[in-house]
Amino acid sequence: MTTLNPLIESKVDVLIIGAGPAGLMCANALASAGVDVRIIDKRAVGVAAGQADGIQPRTIEVLQSYGLAEPLIRIGAHFPRASFWNPGPDGGIVRTQRTPSIFSPTARYPYLITRHQGGIESLFHGSMEAKGLHVQRSTIPTAIQLSQVESELRDPKANPVKVTLKRLDLEEDDIEVVHAKFVLGADGAHSWVRNVLGIKLEGDNTDSIWGVLDVYPETDFPDSRNWTFIHSHNGTLMNIPREGDMMRYYIQLSEDPDFVDPTTRRVNKARANPDRLMETAAKIFQPYSLKMLGEPEWWTIYIIGQRVAQKFSIEDRIFIAGDACHTHSPKAGQGMNASMNDSHNLAWKLAHVLRGWADMSLLKTYESERLKFARDLIDFDRKWSKLFTGKPRTEANEDGISHEEFVGAFQTFSGFSSGVGVRYEASAIVAKQHQACAAKLVVGERMIPHVFVQAADIRAVNIHDAMPSDARFKVLVFVGNVADKAALARVRALAEELDAPKSFVHRYGQGDYHRVFDILCICAGSKDEVDFIDVPQMLRPHWSKWVMLRFLGELGLISLLIARVLLDDTDMHAREGGGGFAAYGIDAKAGAIVVVRPDGYVGMVAPYDRLEDISTYFGGFMVEKSG
C-alpha cells in the first residue's frame, strides 16, 4: 500500500529530470562547478546497447574540455573517410567517390567517433560519481508547479519550482516534494516536462521510414569500415562503423508498404524483424554479400519526425533540452550531439547565476542561442533527408538526385553537422564590434584550436587543453615579442591597467578574480628569446591558488598551470606549433584580447586600448562586486 508522507520534502538548486546525454552533461558540468544538483530518471537501469551513437568533432572537443574524451577516443570507432556508392550499369552498386568525412579545416578531431549511447553515458557516470553525484533511478515526476510571485521568480536565491516525485521502487515513503531553484527537463522526445507545461512542438512527420540494425556482419563489401552512403535501385542505406567489428545500418524501408499501417500511415513495428531488415539491406548491397552473424545487438524502425519546441524555457526557471525540444532524422548524427551541446550551453549560465556572479537575464541567452540553432538544425535536416532519401539520378530517372548534388551538399553542410561552424548571433554575451582585430576568430563561434608551446618548458599544448570547462571566462591576451623593450613596455602598461581597481577583472571578479577569470598570455616571441618570467605577474599564473590546483587536479590537468604563458613558436624539434597569430588573424605587433566564454565560444575580441568596451560587455550581464 502506498504511503503519502507529506513530511518528505527537500530543496535543491537544480533538479534535472532525465538521465540521457543531455541530462548527464548538465549534471556533470554543474557538479564540477560545485552546484547543488540532483538528477532523476524513470528507468531502473541505463542504456545497455543501441540508441544514439555518433559523436561529432565539436562534441569531442567539448568532452575533452571536461576531461572525458580520452576513453571515447580510445574505445570508439573512428571514421575519417566517407565513401559514396550509386547504381552501376549492371544493376548493382559501384563506388563513385571517396572523400574526407569532415570538411571543416579547423576541426581538432577531423573524424567522427561511434560508441553506443550507454558507453557515452558511462563517461559522465564515472565523472559524476567521483564528485559524489549519482542518478536517482526508478523515479518519475508527477506534478510540477511554478510560483507566480514575481519577486520569487526574479530572486536567484528563491526556490519557486515545486516538483512532486514518485519512487517506483518503493511501496512506502515513495512520494517526495522537491523545492528547486531551477529545473531542467531532459526527458526525451515524449517529454513529460514539455507536455505538462503546454509547450508545443512545431513541425511534422515525413513519409520516410527507416530501419536501424546494430550487427556483426559477414560481408565482402570493401568500404564497410567507412562512413558509406549507398543509393541503389533497391533503396538507400547508410553504413556506419561501430566499436569492435560491429556495424550499424540505416536502411530505407519506404518502398515496402508492409512496414506501414495503411490506415494510420504509422510504422507497424510488429511486422518488422531483424531478418527482414537484413534482407532489405542485402538487396541494397548487391552485388556484394551481406549476412548477419548471430543475433543483432539492437534494432528498431522509425519514421522521420522533424519538430522543434516553440520555447525552451518558462520564466527562465524551467528549461528543456535535447530531444525534449527538437527531434529530427538521426542520419546526420546530430541528436546526441545537439542534446549535449544544449546542456553545455546552459550549465555555465546556471552556475554563474546561482553563484551570484551574473544577473538572471543571462539565462535568456540559452533560449535565444539554442532555439535558433534548433531551427537551423531542422532546416538542415529537411534538406539533408530529402537528398538522402531521394532516388538516385539515372538514365531512366533524370529528375533524381545526382552524385554531384549529394556530395556537394555533404561538403557544404559539414561545418554545421560537425558542430565546428555553429555560430551564435550578437547578444549580451556575443559582442562583435572589434572583430577586425582578430579577423579569423569569428566572434560567436567556438575558439579555434591551435598548438602553441609553453614558455616555461617548450612543451607543445593545444590551446583548447589550456581552457578546461571550469565555468570561468578565459581572457586570452595576445602580446608581441616581450624580448623587445618597446613591446614589453606596452605589455606592462596593459597589465597595470588590467590590475587597476576599475578594470573588469576586479569589478566583476567577485573579490577574487581567479575564480571568475582565467588569464592566459600568448607571446609572439621566439623560444630562444623569451622567458615566461618576462611576462608581468598579472598575466602569469598565481601558484598559491589552491582552489585552482584542486579543480585542475580532478581533471588531471595540473601540469597545464605552466601553460598560462604560451609562445607562438614550434617545439624543440619543429614538429608542432607556430603560426597561431596568423591563424587567428591577429597582428603580432598590435596584439589583441580575446574573451572566451566558459562554453568555449568567443564572446568578444578587443584591442588593448578598449578595455572599457570589455567592461561594458561584462556589465551587460554580470553583477559587479569590487574586492
Given 41, 53, 214, 359, which residue is catalytic?
53
| Cβ–Cβ < 8 Å for 402, 84 | no
First to last CA, the chain: 57
Helix (H) or strand (E) holding 237: strand 235-241
SS3 9: strand
CA-to-CA separations, 195 to 149, 165, 192, 336, 582, in angstroms, rounded: 23, 17, 5, 21, 50
Given 250, 366, 508, 513, which residue is catalytic?
250
Given 330, 468, 536, 541, which residue is catalytic?
330
| Cβ–Cβ < 8 Å for 83, 95 | yes
Instruction: State the alpha helices, DSSP H only, in 265-315.
Output: 274-285
SS3 547: helix
- Any catalytic annotation for residue 382? no
Output the CA angle 486-489-490, nearest 5 degrees: 90
d(CA 357, CA 378): 34
- Any catalytic annotation for residue 242? yes
Per-residue burial over 184-217, b if 16 or more Cβ lie within 10 Å, else e, is bbbbbeebbbbeebebebebebbebbbbbbbbbb
Given 38, 242, 317, 446, which residue is catalytic?
242
- Any catalytic annotation for residue 250? yes
| Cβ–Cβ < 8 Å for 135, 40 | yes
Amino acid at 491: V
- Any catalytic annotation for residue 609? no
Q: Which of 145, 127, 133, 9 is nearest to 71 (CA)?
A: 127
Q: Give DSSP secondary structure letters for 131-188.
A: TT---B-SEEEEEEEE---HHHHH-TT---EEEEEEETT-SSS-EEEEEEEEEEE---
SS3 326: strand
d(CA 449, CA 54): 22
d(CA 627, CA 623): 13
Q: Which of 416, 423, 419, 443 is nearest to 341 (CA)?
A: 419
| Cβ–Cβ < 8 Å for 91, 234 | no
Q: Which of 227, 249, 225 is nearest to 237 (CA)?
A: 249
Q: In terms of C-beta density within 10 A (0-12 exposed, 13-18 middle, 19 or more buried), how is residue 110 classed?
A: middle
Measured N-to-C along each axis, helices 364-389 and 403-412 cross at an angle, to the nearest 10 degrees, of 160
d(CA 68, CA 60): 9
Q: Which of 606, 313, 557 is nearest to 454 (CA)?
A: 557
d(CA 384, CA 543): 51
Active site residues: 53, 242, 250, 330
